[in-house]
Structure 1
Amino acid sequence: MEEHVKIAGPVNGNFTFKKHPDGTIDKGRVICVLCKKEFAYHRSSSSLAYHINAKHPVASATAANVSGKDAPNLASHSNTLRQTKLEDNTPRMSKSATERLTNVLAKWIAMNCRPINIVEDEGLTEVLQTASNDPLYKPPCRATVTTKISKMYEGEKKKKLEILVEDSPNCIAITGDHWTSAGNHSYFGVTGHFINNEWNLNSFALTIMKSETRHFADKCAEQFLQVANDWGIEAKISTIGTDSAANMLAAMRALPYEHIACNAHILQRTITVCLDNSGFVGVLAKCRKIVGHFKQSPASTTELNQQQVALGKKSEHLIQDVPTRWNSTLAMVSRLLRNQEAVQATMDQRNNHRLVMPTEAEWGKLQRLEVLLEPCRYVTELLGGEAYVSCSIVLPAFRHLDRIMDITDDDPAYVVKFKNAFQKELAARQPDVNKKTWLKLATALDPRFKDLKCLPREKREQVWTSLENMLQAAEPRRADTLQLSTEEDEPAQKKRRSALILGSDSDSEEDGNEYGELQRYRAEPSISIDDCPLQWWYDHSGTYEKLSALARKYLASPATSVPCERLFSLAGHIVQKKRAALLPENVTKLVCLSDWLKKEK
C-alpha cells in the first residue's frame, strides 16, 4: 500500500512518498499520482500546490471539495484525469462543414483554373481560418484536392452524358480544332452543340485530348470518330465545324457528316489579304511604327496619358495590330484616330523627329478604313457566338457586307480597289453553291430571315422545294398499312396521297400534310432581327410539329469553330509555363470541368 502525504489544502492525496528498492520510504521525495513526476519535499506544500493548480486544474478543484478521508479515492481516478489543452476550448468546425469546405475549394480551383498547390498558400489558410472562425483549420492537401476534382469530373461527365441521351434531339453539331500547349504538346479539342426540349441552345466541351501523331487527314478523321464513340453520339452528329486548313477539309471528305467551314476565319482571311494589297499599306505601316514607339517608351506613354487628360479624353494605351488577332487592325486605327491630337502633342513635346506622323490625307484614309472595317467587326462577333443561333446568320451577314462593299461615285481609287478585292476574295473563299445547302435551309428555318432576301430570287424557291422533299421523306411510311387495307380502301388511300402531293390542306386533322404546314409557315410574318428565333419555335412547335424538328436540327450548328478557340483560351490559362508538365488526363479534366462548371452558373 502506497503511503500518501498528509498535506493540508488542495494537494492532499495527490502525492505519495517515494519508495526505495528495499521497500523503505524516502520522506524527502514525493511523486505526483496524476503525472508520476518526482518532487523534493521539505514539509512545504507550496511547490506541490502550484504543480496541481497549473498542470491538473480538474484534480485541484476536485481535491478542494473532498474531505481528508476521501482523498485516497482520488488516486484511484488519476488515470481518467488529464491536462486541459488550449485547443479543447477553441470552437472547431464540424466534420460535415469541413467536408463541404473541401468540396467548395476543389470546385473553385477547377472552375477558375487555379493551380492545385494553392492549398499550400499561407495567405489562403489564414483567409479560410478567419472565414470559418476556426483558427486551427488546415486546408486539404494536394492529393485530396486532386481526388476531389477527379470525382467531380466523373460526376459532371455523367450528367452531360445523360443530357445528350435524354434531353437532346437526334442531331448534335460539333466543332473541332488543334492547339499546341506551352509545353509544346499538341491537343485536340471538340465542343458539342444542340437545342434541347425547352428550345435552349446548349454548348459545352466534349474533350481536349493529347494528340500523339501529326495532323494528317486520316488521323484527324479518326480523332473525330473516337470522340463521337466515347460520347455515344456517332448516329446523332449532324455537322462538324472546323477551320479551312487542308488537312481538316480532307478529313471532312472522309467522314459521313456535313462540314461547315469557319465563316469567321473566311472573313478575317479576306480582310487580311485585301489590306496587304490595298492603298492602305503605307499609312498602316506608319501607324504600326507610332504604336511600337509608345509600347517601347514608358516616358512617351506617360506623356501621352498626360496629354489625353489635358484634352479631356480618357487615358488609354495605344493598340498594336497582330495578323492573327481578329479585328486588331480596326482597333489600332480607331484608337489612333480617337487620340490623334494627344499623339501629335506628345510627339511635338518630345521633339521626336524619327517618327513620321500621317498627313492630313492619310488621316482621312484611316477614317475611311475604319468605316469599311467596322461592319466586318460586327459580323465577326455576330458569327462567333455560341449562346445564340449563328448558322442562319451567315448568308444574310455576308450579303450585308457585299452590299456595303458596293462601289459608289464618291469612293476614291484606293477604296474602290479595296472593295473590289474584298468582294472577289469573299466570294472565292465561301463554299460553292452545293455546299451552301445547310446554310440556306438554316436561313429559311429562322423566322427572322425566312424571306430569303439574301439569295437571288431564282434560288429562293429551290430552298422551299428542298424543305418540302425533306418533310415528305420524314413522313412515316404507310407500306404496311397499304398491304393490310382492302381493295375497297385503296381509292381513299390514293386520294389522300394525291392531296399530299398537291399540297392542299385536309379537312381532317389526321389528314394534315407537311406541305400545308410548310405553306402556313411561309405565310407567317417574319420576326424582328432582335427577337429570338428559338423562342418563336418554342411558342409554335405544336403548330409546326415536323417543321420544328428540322429547325432544331439546322439551327443548332455553329457558324464558326470559335467555340474551340474559346476552349483553347481556357486551356492556356491552365497549361502555363509553370504547369507545362501537367499530365494529359489532368489537362482534359481541368479544361472540361472548368467549361462545364462556368456554363452551369
Structure 2
Amino acid sequence: MLQEWSITRDQLSSITTDNASNMKKAFQGLPCVWLSCFGHNLNLAIVKVLKLQRVESAVRACKHFVQGFSHSWKRKRELKNQRLLNIPEKSLIHDVVTRWGSTFKMIERFLEEQQACCAVLAADRSSWHLMPKDSDVRTLEMVCQLLGPLNDFTDVLASETKTTLSSLKPVMEHITGILEEKDEDDALTKQMKKVMMDDLQQCYSSEDVSKLIDIACFIDPRFKGNFSQNKDETVMFTVEEAVKLEEMTSRPPQELPAFTTAQEQGNSTSTTTVPSAATKKKDKSLSCLLKKTYISRTRNGQRRRCPVKRKSDSGG
C-alpha cells in the first residue's frame, strides 16, 4: 500500500491502525512508530466497563426488558396508551453488541421511559419477571451518568473531518477530567473509572509513542508546551527531530523497502509536518472543546494525571 502511494521511509513518522494483531504484525517491520487508534482504544476501555459483573448483569436485564416490549404488540399498545398521559412518545432502543454507543442509548431511553413501561407491566402479573431489580436500575443510572459525557465527546470527535496527533494529549486530559474520581462517587463508579483509566494508560505507556505525542503537541501553535509533562525534555526531543529533518534535505529520499526485508532496515524515525486542524468552527467542535479544556486547566493552575506519559516520568 505504501509503495503504491509512493510513500518513502523518510516520509514516515507514524502509522495508525486499530489494535488487531494482524495490523500490528503487518507494520512492525517498518522503522516508524505504530500508534493505536484512539477511538478503538476508548471503545475497548468502555467495553471492559460493560463487562464488569454488576454492570453486565444490569445491562442484560435492560435488554430483556426491551425485548419484552419489542416482541409483544399488546405491550406496545398499552405503552402507547400510557403515553397519552402527557408523556412524550419515544420507542425503546435495541443495542448493537459491537457499538457501546448503542448500549448507552438503550440504557438512556430505558431510564426515560421506565415509568410508563413499568406501569404497563404492573397491570399484567405474567409480565412482572421483565421488571429489572431496583439494584439493576441504580446500576444503569450510574453507567448512564458516566458514559453520557463520553458519548457527547465521541459524537464531537466523529464529526471532525480532520484530526491531528497534536490534539491527542489535550483530548486525553479532557477524558482524564471526566474520569477523575470525586468524593461523592460510590464504589461502582470509582471502579468503572479506574478500569477505563488503567486501560487507556496502558495504550500509551510506550516511550516511543509518548515521545511522538509530546513532540506533535509541542509544535502545534495552539498548545505549545502547555501540556508537556517535562518541557525541557520535549524541547530537546524536538530539536533532535528538527536536526534529522535538516539532514534529510541534503540527500535524496530512500525508497520504501519491501516487507520481506523491512526488519533489516535501521530504526531511524522522522517527524513530518502535522496537518492543520479544521478551520471551521462549531459550538460543539473539537477545537472549541479543547479550548475549554485549556482554559479550565489554566484557571485551576494544576495538571491532571494524563494517561499519555513516558515511563521515566515521575509525575503522578
Q: Is 2:148 the counterpart of 1:429? A: no
Secondary structure, aligned partner of 2:15: strand
Higher strand residue share: 1
CA shift in 2, pair 1:379/1:478, >3 Å? closer
Offset, 1:317? 1.9
Bigger radius of gyration among the two: 1
Secondary structure, aligned partner of 2:16: strand
Q: Which residue identity is paired with 1:459?
A: N
CA shift in 2, pair 1:448/1:365, >3 Å? farther
Offset, 1:358? 3.1
Q: Is 2:118 the counterpart of 1:344? A: yes
For 1:440 and 1:302, locate their aligned partners in 2 and report how far apart those are by CA, in whole Å. Answer: 57
Q: What does residue range 357-396 of structure 1 map to in structure 2 within 5 Å? A: 357-384=131-158, 387-396=161-170
Offset, 1:266? 1.0
For 1:294 and 1:390, locate their aligned partners in 2 and report how far apart those are by CA, in whole Å. Answer: 44
Q: Is 2:17 the counterpart of 1:246? A: no
Q: What does residue range 179-258 of structure 1 map to in structure 2 within 5 Å? A: 227-234=1-8, 236-258=11-33
Offset, 1:475? 4.2
Choose from 231, 235, 251 the match for 1:460: 231
CA contact (8 A) 1:241 1:262 kept: yes
CA shift in 2, pair 1:229/1:281, >3 Å? closer
Q: So what's the TM-score if we normalise by structure 1?
A: 0.39
Q: Is 2:38 the counterpart of 1:267? A: no
For 1:342 and 1:321, locate their aligned partners in 2 and report how far apart those are by CA, in whole Å. Answer: 20
Aligned residue number for residue 482 of structure 1: none
Offset, 1:423? 1.9
Offset, 1:261? 1.0
Aligned residue number for residue 287 of structure 1: 62
Offset, 1:286? 1.2
Offset, 1:439? 2.1
CA shift in 2, pair 1:478/1:296, >3 Å? closer
Offset, 1:238? 4.2
CA contact (8 A) 2:121 2:128 kept: no
Offset, 1:244? 0.8
Aligned residue number for residue 331 of structure 1: 105
Offset, 1:477? 9.5
Q: Is 2:217 the counterpart of 1:446? A: no
CA contact (8 A) 1:441 1:554 kept: no
For 1:306 and 1:445, locate their aligned partners in 2 and report how far apart those are by CA, in whole Å. Answer: 60
CA contact (8 A) 2:75 2:120 kept: yes
CA shift in 2, pair 1:354/1:554, >3 Å? farther
CA shift in 2, pair 1:239/1:478, >3 Å? closer
CA contact (8 A) 1:239 1:557 kept: no
Structure 1 residues 574-597: Cα deviation after superposition (integer angstroms, max 9, x where no partner): xxxxxxxxxxxxxxxxxxxxxxxx
Aligned residue number for residue 420 of structure 1: 194
For 2:106 and 2:142, locate their aligned partners in 1 and report how far apart those are by CA, in whole Å. Answer: 14
For 1:291 and 1:285, locate their aligned partners in 2 and report how far apart those are by CA, in whole Å. Answer: 10
Q: So what's the TM-score if we normalise by structure 2?
A: 0.69
Offset, 1:333? 1.1
Q: What does residue range 105-120 of structure 1 map to in structure 2 within 5 Å? A: none
Offset, 1:435? 1.6
CA contact (8 A) 1:278 1:414 kept: no
Secondary structure, aligned partner of 1:394: helix
Aligned residue number for residue 404 of structure 1: 178
Q: Which stretch of structure 1 is more off in the superposition, 282-291 or 414-423?
A: 414-423
Q: Is 2:82 the counterpart of 1:307? A: yes
Choose from 7, 32, 52 the match for 1:277: 52
**Percent of residue pairs identical:** 25
CA contact (8 A) 2:36 2:203 kept: no
Can you give the 5+ residue segments of structure 2 that lack an aligned partner in the other structure?
251-270, 278-316
CA contact (8 A) 1:442 1:555 kept: yes
Structure 1 residues 396-435: Cα deviation after superposition (integer angstroms, max 9, x where no partner): 2222222332332222222222222222222223351322
Offset, 1:390? 4.1
CA shift in 2, pair 1:231/1:409, >3 Å? closer
Bigger relative CO (Cα 8 Å, ≥ 6 apart): 2
Offset, 1:306? 3.8
For 2:141 and 2:113, locate their aligned partners in 1 and report how far apart those are by CA, in whole Å. Answer: 13
CA shift in 2, pair 1:296/1:447, >3 Å? farther
Offset, 1:377? 1.9
CA contact (8 A) 2:168 2:213 kept: yes
CA contact (8 A) 1:443 1:450 kept: yes
Q: Which residue identity is paired with 2:233?
A: Q
Q: Which residue identity is paired with 1:277?
A: L
Secondary structure, aligned partner of 1:322: coil
For 2:202 and 2:248, locate their aligned partners in 1 and report how far apart those are by CA, in whole Å. Answer: 42
Q: Which residue identity is paired with 1:467?
A: T
For 1:297 and 1:557, locate their aligned partners in 2 and report how far apart those are by CA, in whole Å. Answer: 53
Offset, 1:287? 0.5
Offset, 1:341? 1.5
Structure 1 residues 518-556: Cα deviation after superposition (integer angstroms, max 9, x where no partner): xxxxxxxxxxxxxxxxxxxxxxxxxxxxxxxxxx94533
Q: Which residue identity is paired with 1:340?
A: Q
Q: Is 2:275 the counterpart of 1:556? A: yes
Aligned residue number for residue 469 of structure 1: 240
For 2:192 and 2:148, locate their aligned partners in 1 and report how far apart those are by CA, in whole Å. Answer: 14
For 2:63 and 2:248, locate their aligned partners in 1 and report how far apart those are by CA, in whole Å. Answer: 66
Structure 1 residues 349-368: Cα deviation after superposition (integer angstroms, max 9, x where no partner): 44443534234454333222
For 1:270 and 1:424, locate their aligned partners in 2 and report how far apart those are by CA, in whole Å. Answer: 9
For 1:312 and 1:385, locate their aligned partners in 2 and report how far apart those are by CA, in whole Å. Answer: 32
For 1:439 and 1:410, locate their aligned partners in 2 and report how far apart those are by CA, in whole Å. Answer: 34
Structure 1 residues 128-161: Cα deviation after superposition (integer angstroms, max 9, x where no partner): xxxxxxxxxxxxxxxxxxxxxxxxxxxxxxxxxx
What is the RMSD of the two structures over their aligned residues, measured on CA atoms?
Answer: 3.1
Q: Which residue identity is paired with 1:241?
A: T
